[in-house]
Amino acid sequence: MDGEASLWNPDLAPTGPAQRTWRWYHFAALWVGMIVQVPSWLLASGLIEQGMSAGQAALTVLAGNVVVLIPMLLIGHAGARHGVPYAVLARAAFGTSGARLPAIARALVACGWYGIQTWIGGEALLTLLGVMAGYNLSGAPLPFLDIGIGQLLAFAAFWAFQILFLQKGLTIVRKLETWTAPIKIAVCGALVWWALDRAGGVGPIFASPSAFAPGGAKAGQFWPTFWPALTAMVGFWGTLALNIPDFTRFARAQRDQIIGQAIGLPPTMGLIALASVITTSATVVIYGKAIWDPVALAGTLSGPFVLIGLLVISIDTISCNIAANLVCAAYDFSSLWPARISYRTGGMITAGIGVLIMPWKLLATTGGYIFTWLTGYSALLGPIAGILIADYWLVRGTKLDVVALYRSHGRYTYAGGWNVAAVLAFAIGVLPNLPGFLHAAAPGTFGWIGAPWTTIYSYAWFVGLLLALVSYRLLMLRSPAPAPIVEPA
């Protein structure tokens, strides 16, 4: 199918029957490959550092991923049925021009994640080289950057290595995830076995109450911590909840994406959280302190295990970063100017911005990682998910005029290419969370902002999604009824 140059290129075109080859196990393997990664590991272990017990941390992670599976399947349905990527699907709700708003919002978040993953991969590479050399290669912190020359060079090398995979597209991603998923699970199991063997058991964190228990350092503060944490857990994959059509458009059948995602997402996140809390608790016994970063933990080991572990972390980071961040952002940037920005050009833009955000500063503390970064962007992406769900399921009953999605004059043109109802619903979903975000991101400047804004921000993704979903549906009731869509048999 061809379309207008301003809205179409081969990368954005609907998938045909020959391209729809992904079976349920490909989706399950994709999720295993994306989940078994360092940032996923940091979720549960970071919650322990925030005061939760091991059980509380693991259950919080699992609950967040059960919740996010719902929009994942609802939005993924459109990709499997109509074969269009997220950036094109958004045109039905936001308009052929307005769709650039959710596309750029999602793309910028992906750039942030791309930088974080690249930093983690570079750290694993540097640690591996340091173990082989016998000393720390980080170097003294550089002015402004606050990282050593060794860290900067490792980051740059890992960044450049990933660019090689950019040229291969989604085919190599599917193969890489399918091949490496079993290896990643085996390595996690081996790390848990090592931790328990060295610690002589699960460690004191499993046996001791959380910091929120009576008499604890944060007694009575569990719920004020739990809700922002749950929102952050949902936000962790809130990015893929939007971009999942980029993958489900290759599904052989609707059943494959549903079963594959249900098997691959919540159970694997629950297992990685359990492995994380077991290993983190064991490090208290082994080293006298909790080591929540697996790269740092690998650097304390010796023998072939550290080499194997760091090598797997590096491969894992490449496969996850390409699948979860580079692919999605590349499509989004391509949709901004299809005639000039190809999938590969969009990927290069993503990689460039990922450097400029200085990701090491986002990972400086668990609080900044979980409560500022994850919760903050969930407040931005939750409303978009609400609008897409309301438009596709409630307004259109899952029917789309696919040809019109690639035409600047048609049923999705609205007013000059913009659907005012979607823009207003997006603002209604985002604005209530803005004061709370400012308080969390810059407490020194916005510390005067208190309840109810900080309380609302604790539920940022939920608040944004529900407000945008309901307001969009109500606003669209005032719009003229669209002409019936007759889909091909």
For 20-71, the pLDDT digits (tens) are 999 999 999 888 877 877 777 777 777 877 788 878 888 898 999 999 999 9
Contact call for residues 85 and 329 (beta carbons, < 8 A): no
> What was the pLDDT predicted at 489?
45
Residue 425: band (very low, low, confident or very high) from pLDDT cuts 50, 70, 90? very high
DSSP 221-281: -HHHHHHHHHHHHHHHTHHHHHHTHHHHTTBSSHHHHHHHHHHHSHHHHHHHHHHHHHHHH
For 365-377, the pLDDT digits (tens) are 545 555 566 677 8
For 376-394, the pLDDT digits (tens) are 788 889 999 999 999 999 9
For residue 251, is pLDDT > 90? yes
DSSP 90-124: HHHHH-TTTTHHHHHHHHHHHHHHHHHHHHHHHHH
> What was the pLDDT predicted at 458?
84
Residue 347: band (very low, low, confident or very high) from pLDDT cuts 50, 70, 90? confident
Residue 301 vs residues 280, 294, 307, 333: alpha-carbon distances, Å: 14, 11, 9, 41
Q: Encoding tokens for residue 225?
A: 């911590």
Residue 195 vs residues 33, 38, 189, 384: alpha-carbon distances, Å: 23, 17, 10, 41
Of 488 and 242, the one with more pLDDT:
242
Task: Quote the CA–CA distance of 255 and 261 in Å, as a whole number.
Answer: 10
Percent of the chain surpassing pLDDT 70 = 85
For 164-175, the pLDDT digits (tens) are 776 665 566 666
Task: Quote the CA–CA distance of 451 and 305 in Å, as a whole number.
Answer: 49
What type of residue is 470? V
Contact call for residues 246 and 86 (beta carbons, < 8 A): yes
Lowest-pLDDT choice from 22-31, 131-140, 418-427, 465-474: 131-140
